[in-house]
Amino acid sequence: MNKNLRPAVVAGNWKMNKTPDEAKALLGEIIPLVKGADCEVVACVPFVDLLVALEATKGTNIKIGAQNCHWEKSGAFTGEVSAEMLKAIGVDYVIIGHSERRTLFGDNDLTVRKRTRAALDAGLKVILCVGEYLEQREQGITTEIVRLQTKIALLGVSAEELKNIVIAYEPVWAIGTGKTATAAQANEVNAAIRELIGELYGKAAADAIVIQYGGSMNAANAEELLSQPDVDGGLIGGASLKAKDFSVIVSEANA
């Protein structure tokens, strides 16, 4: 982190976990533990938990996010939820392009770009996920893959709009596997993304953009990962479902 240049953002990605009652209970545990954090704290919850989560976090420092949105405002898109709908109920953030959406539900760089556009147009903040497969890392093309994913998603995004984007570097091989990228690996890719932002938008934008690391970040390894200059927080899956563990990560981001 480099807090002189940009805030840290720690976001929980609850994935398909917690009923509304369970969500309320977990947030009830998290709220007192992260009170007074000097980083941004976000909980990205399942669609059905959004209203309860918004109510439970009213007046607290926790922002609520969704985990996907469709690119059209409304229409015949069975099973989808639009960015406008999320904005209308008071959601702040939306995760776009998570690797589980890409590998399991057919999302690709072009649909990620369309969803990003819709989210920005609706006034949501985007957590844009990019990351390589293990084979791609072994081939030595991690930087190229991540640059391309980022570039395509940001096509047509203005410098002003970029302020509403957080990028999450999530190596696919590290998600939910317990295999974390080393702090040096995470920092190297995050720095490469920042360099790309510099090429596209200039140095001030590169300095200001928040780039998280995600992939088995937990209470034990957060300190080392977050001590890296280009790792500005985390997108946390498994560990975000345990109030204590999540709050330890938030407190490491406060350090």
Under the binding rule (CB under 6 A), the answer on residue 175 touching ligand PGA is yes
Under the binding rule (CB under 6 A), the answer on residue 238 touching ligand PGA is yes
Catalytic one among 98, 100, 132, 252?
98
81 exposure class (CB count in 10 Å sphere: 0-12, 13-18, 19+) = middle
Under the binding rule (CB under 6 A), the answer on residue 236 touching ligand PGA is yes
CB contact set of 245 (below 8 Å; sequence gap of 6+) = 218, 219, 239
Near ligand PGA in 215-234, by CB under 6 A = 215-217
Q: Taking the complex as a whole, how short is the minimal distance between the CB of residue 6 and ligand PGA, in angstroms?
A: 20
Given the complex with ligand PGA, which of 121 and 223 has the nearer CB atom? 223
The C-alpha R_g of the chain, in whole angstroms, comes to 17
Please check whether residue 166 is in contact with residue 128, taking contact to mean a CB–CB distance below 8 angstroms.
Answer: yes
Examine the residue annotation and report whether 195 is marked as an active-site residue of this protein.
Answer: no
Which of these ranges, 26-34, 48-56, 62-70, 169-177, lies near ligand PGA under the rule CB under 6 A? 169-177
The tokens for 234 are 């985390």
Q: Taking the complex as a whole, how short is the minimal distance between the CB of residue 39 and ligand PGA, in angstroms?
A: 17
Under the binding rule (CB under 6 A), the answer on residue 176 touching ligand PGA is yes
241 exposure class (CB count in 10 Å sphere: 0-12, 13-18, 19+) = middle
Cβ atoms < 10 Å from Cβ of 202? 11
Query: What is the distance between the alpha carbons of residues 90 and 15, in angstroms, rounded to a whole number?
Result: 20
1-21 in b/e form (b: 16+ CB < 10 A) is: beeeebebbbbbbbbebbebe
Query: What is the distance between the alpha carbons of residues 53 and 20, in angstroms, rounded to a whole number?
Result: 8
Q: Taking the complex as a whole, how short is the minimal distance between the CB of residue 7 and ligand PGA, in angstroms?
A: 19
Which of these ranges, 70-78, 104-112, 130-138, 214-222, lies near ligand PGA under the rule CB under 6 A? 214-222
Under the binding rule (CB under 6 A), the answer on residue 235 touching ligand PGA is yes
Given the complex with ligand PGA, which of 68 and 206 has the nearer CB atom? 68
**Residue 19 phi, psi (nearest 5):** -75, 170
Examine the residue annotation and report whether 70 is marked as an active-site residue of this protein.
Answer: no
Which of these ranges, 77-85, 106-114, 140-148, 208-216, lies near ligand PGA under the rule CB under 6 A? 208-216
The tokens for 237 are 């899956």
Under the binding rule (CB under 6 A), the answer on residue 214 touching ligand PGA is yes
Given the complex with ligand PGA, which of 136 and 201 has the nearer CB atom? 136
CB contact set of 210 (below 8 Å; sequence gap of 6+) = 6, 7, 8, 9, 166, 167, 232, 233
Q: Taking the complex as a whole, how short is the minimal distance between the CB of residue 210 and ligand PGA, in angstroms?
A: 15
Applying CB under 6 A, which of residues 8, 9, 13, 56 lies at the interface with ligand PGA? Answer: 13
- Which residues are identified as catalytic? 98, 170
The residues of the shown chain that bind ligand PGA, judged by CB under 6 A, are 13, 170, 175-176, 214-217, 235-239
